[in-house]
């Protein structure tokens, strides 16, 4: 597997294993004995290599391969392991010289961030101590819980029944008690004299049970409902609470394939986005002049995606609130840089390489940078800052013929633009004449906590003007001396 060109350094903590040797203290040894009477401490330096956090969302990493095997001597800065994070595969280097004494997590297995994955001994004399420590760490690891049995676990015993409230003392027969309407009806049916019935209800009230008892009718057995959990009081959902998807049983005959690290990260982000109050606005844009510009510059390596990203960055510069974000639910975060993240489908997942400072670079430099980012993304070699620093996202499915779609807002951003295909459309001008022009529909999903409808509409109007008159897209390029 290809590895990242810029490895990440691993932090390693040094641990010491003392071995105390007592030297003789004979009285005849005099000054020599006093010098040797002190305790000599030999310290074996063993460093733990930890699973690094390669991104802000990474909670565990998978070992793709070990670049150094047990017994290999490594120097500071050498790559020792390739780790698969939730977004990319990255080489990880060591801070120290030493010998790889023990690999605690073999290739193909995962470990949480911060857990030791290998031990590094300073010298060959420390190898035995390192192996002993590796055995201690393996014993200290918690045992995995046994898999749940197919048989259903017996239900917990029902709670003891609550003590029944003391029944009110019956009123002696012959007193004038008040009967309930149902009791009166039963007394009439069974020809029971209410004056002779002792009431057991509140304040001597005669109940239907009293009438049935006086008539000699056995009471019906009461059905005791199965014990159930106490009902949870309904309350308004907390702001920012993430709804949890129900776990459904698999369809018979289906094959269950667990998520990869990247797919799990995408799933987590998509579920978190449901907690954001988002809204969507669509806008049709004529693309005839943009198509003409693309025909001129595509031979120089400029893609339509780069042109759209450049146009979005220029529009965001005029509408900074759309480039802002809400990270705590209480405030605006205005970003000083305009970094356009572009969704890219790769084998087994989705990632968003970031074109940083897209408003300041010309379309040719952006194209070169975009080509490098896509290559690294498909090889899973992106560095964290190359996929996690976006302030606005662009998703383009126009090349697949999709005319319109809605995109899900990424966490930590104020908006995402979904771009559909440009198609010939019959349009009428202000004089009523018809013509055929190419049109595309863009839909923007935005965080309604910071971006309002008027803000998004103004941004889309600016974006449409840039697309319909794209000369400004090449302005910076011309100023730097590059001609189209």
- CATH code: domain of residue 383: 3.30.559.10
Look at residue 362 in the predicted model and tell me its pLDDT.
92
The answer to whether residue 148 is domain-embedded is no
Read off the pLDDT of each residue in 442-450 and give the average, rounded to a whole number. 94
Judged on CB neighbours under 10 Å (0-12, 13-18, 19+), 330 is exposed
Judge if 115 and 198 occupy the same domain: no
Residue 452: band (very low, low, confident or very high) from pLDDT cuts 50, 70, 90: very high
Token pair in block for residue 124: 């060959």
Judge if 187 and 91 occupy the same domain: no
Task: Judge contact between 119 and 130, C-beta under 8 A.
Answer: yes
276 compared with 392, residue with greater pLDDT: 392
Domain that holds residue 284: 277-474
- With pLDDT > 70 as the criterion, what percentage of the chain qualifies? 74
Considering its fold, how many domains does the chain have in total?
3
Look at residue 220 in the predicted model and tell me its pLDDT.
64
Judge if 135 and 188 occupy the same domain: no
The answer to whether residue 399 is domain-embedded is yes
Residue 244: band (very low, low, confident or very high) from pLDDT cuts 50, 70, 90: low
Residue 448 annotated in active site: yes
Judge if 322 and 193 occupy the same domain: no
Residue 145: band (very low, low, confident or very high) from pLDDT cuts 50, 70, 90: very low
Instruction: Answer whether residue 442 shows pLDDT above 90.
Output: yes
Q: What is the chain's length?
A: 484
Task: Judge contact between 467 and 333, C-beta under 8 A.
Answer: no
Range scoring the smallest mean pLDDT among 165-179, 250-264, 431-445: 165-179
Judge if 331 and 418 occupy the same domain: yes
Read off the pLDDT of each residue in 89-100 and give the average, rounded to a whole number. 81
Residue 314: band (very low, low, confident or very high) from pLDDT cuts 50, 70, 90: very high
Instruction: Answer whether residue 173 shows pLDDT above 60.
Output: no
Long-range CB contacts (< 8 A, 24+ apart) of 157-160?
Answer: 158/226, 158/227, 159/227
How far apart CA 316 and CA 466 sit, in angstroms, is 12
Nearest C-alpha neighbor of 262 from the set 395, 85, 405: 85
Look at residue 304 in the predicted model and tell me its pLDDT.
93
CA distances from 451 to 6, 256, 320, 336, 358 (A): 37, 40, 10, 17, 21
What CATH number is given to the structural domain containing 194?
Answer: 4.10.320
Token pair in block for residue 119: 């031990």
| CA 363 from centre of chain | 33
Angle at 380 between CA 379 and CA 381, to 5 degrees: 90
Residue 41: band (very low, low, confident or very high) from pLDDT cuts 50, 70, 90: very low
Instruction: Answer whether residue 357 shows pLDDT above 90.
Output: yes
The answer to whether residue 3 is domain-embedded is no
Judge if 191 and 283 occupy the same domain: no
Instruction: Answer whether residue 367 shows pLDDT above 90.
Output: yes
The answer to whether residue 6 is domain-embedded is no
Look at residue 332 in the predicted model and tell me its pLDDT.
87
Residue 324: band (very low, low, confident or very high) from pLDDT cuts 50, 70, 90: very high
Instruction: Answer whether residue 3 shows pLDDT above 50.
Output: no
**pTM for the full predicted model:** 0.57
Judge if 134 and 187 occupy the same domain: no
Judge if 361 and 467 occupy the same domain: yes
Instruction: Answer whether residue 255 shows pLDDT above 70.
Output: yes
The answer to whether residue 170 is domain-embedded is no
Instruction: Answer whether residue 62 shows pLDDT above 60.
Output: yes
What CATH number is given to the structural domain containing 65?
Answer: 2.40.50.100
How far apart CA 7 and CA 333 sit, in angstroms, is 31
Residue 23: band (very low, low, confident or very high) from pLDDT cuts 50, 70, 90: very low
CA atoms lying within 13 Å on the CB side of residue 287:
23
Which of 96, 190, 319, 448 is flagged as catalytic?
448
Token pair in block for residue 185: 């009806």
Judge if 69 and 186 occupy the same domain: no
The answer to whether residue 185 is domain-embedded is yes
Residue 27: how many other CB atoms lie within 10 Å: 6
Residue 329: band (very low, low, confident or very high) from pLDDT cuts 50, 70, 90: confident
Judge if 112 and 198 occupy the same domain: no
Domain boundary among 107, 139, 171: 139
Domain boundary among 139, 164, 190: 139
Look at residue 242 in the predicted model and tell me its pLDDT.
53
How far apart CA 306 and CA 294 sit, in angstroms, is 10
The answer to whether residue 67 is domain-embedded is yes
The answer to whether residue 347 is domain-embedded is yes
Residue 241: band (very low, low, confident or very high) from pLDDT cuts 50, 70, 90: low
Judge if 110 and 190 occupy the same domain: no
Look over the chain and give the mean of its residue pLDDT values, rounded to a whole number: 77
Domain boundary among 109, 139, 169: 139
């Amino acid at each position: 597997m290809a590895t990242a060109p810029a490895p990440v350094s691993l932090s390693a903590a040094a641990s010491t294993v003392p071995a105390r040797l007592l030297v003789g203290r004979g009285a005849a040894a005099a000054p020599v004995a006093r010098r040797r009477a002190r305790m000599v401490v030999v310290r074996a330096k063993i460093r733990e290599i930890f699973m690094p956090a390669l991104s802000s969302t990474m909670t565990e990493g998978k070992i793709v391969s070990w670049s150094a095997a047990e017994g290999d001597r490594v120097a500071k800065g050498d790559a020792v392991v390739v780790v698969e994070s939730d977004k990319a595969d990255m080489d990880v280097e060591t801070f120290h010289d030493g010998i790889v004494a023990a690999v605690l997590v073999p290739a193909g297995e995962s470990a949480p961030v911060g857990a030791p994955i290998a031990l590094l001994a300073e010298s060959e004399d420390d190898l035995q101590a390192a192996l002993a420590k590796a055995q201690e760490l393996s014993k200290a690891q918690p045992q995995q819980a046994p898999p749940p049995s197919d048989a259903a676990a017996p239900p917990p015993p029902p709670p003891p029944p609550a003590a029944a409230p003391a029944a009110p003392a019956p009123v002696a027969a012959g007193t004038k008690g008040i009967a309930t309407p149902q009791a009166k009806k039963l007394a009439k049916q069974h020809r029971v004299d209410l004056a002779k019935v002792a009431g057991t209800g509140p304040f001597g009230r005669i109940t239907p049970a009293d009438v049935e008892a006086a008539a000699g009718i056995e009471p019906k057995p009461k059905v005791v409902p199965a014990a159930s959990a106490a009902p949870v009081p309904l309350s308004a959902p907390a702001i920012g609470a993430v709804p949890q998807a129900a776990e459904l049983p698999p369809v018979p005959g289906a094959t269950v394939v667990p998520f990869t690290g990247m797919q799990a990260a995408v799933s987590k982000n998509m579920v978190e986005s449901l907690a954001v109050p988002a809204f969507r606005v669509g806008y049709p844009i004529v693309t005839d002049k943009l198509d003409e510009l693309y025909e001129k510059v595509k031979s120089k390596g400029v893609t339509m995606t780069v042109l759209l990203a450049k146009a979005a960055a220029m529009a965001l510069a005029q509408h900074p609130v759309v480039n802002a974000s809400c990270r705590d639910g209480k405030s605006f975060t205005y970003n000083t840089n305009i970094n356009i993240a572009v969704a890219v489908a790769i084998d087994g997942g989705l990632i968003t390489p970031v074109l940083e400072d897209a408003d300041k670079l010309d379309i040719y430099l952006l194209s070169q940078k975009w080509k490098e980012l896509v290559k690294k993304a498909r090889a899973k070699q992106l560095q964290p800052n190359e996929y996690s620093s976006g302030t606005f996202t662009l998703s383009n499915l126009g090349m697949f013929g999709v005319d319109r779609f809605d995109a899900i807002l990424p966490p930590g951003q104020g908006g995402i633009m979904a771009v559909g295909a440009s198609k010939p459309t019959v349009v009428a001008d202000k004089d009523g004449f018809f013509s055929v022009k190419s049109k595309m529909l863009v839909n923007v999903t935005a965080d309604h906590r910071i971006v309002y409808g008027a803000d998004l509409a103004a941004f889309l109007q600016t974006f449409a003007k840039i697309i319909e008159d794209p000369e400004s897209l090449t302005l910076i390029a011309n100023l730097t001396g590059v001609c189209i």
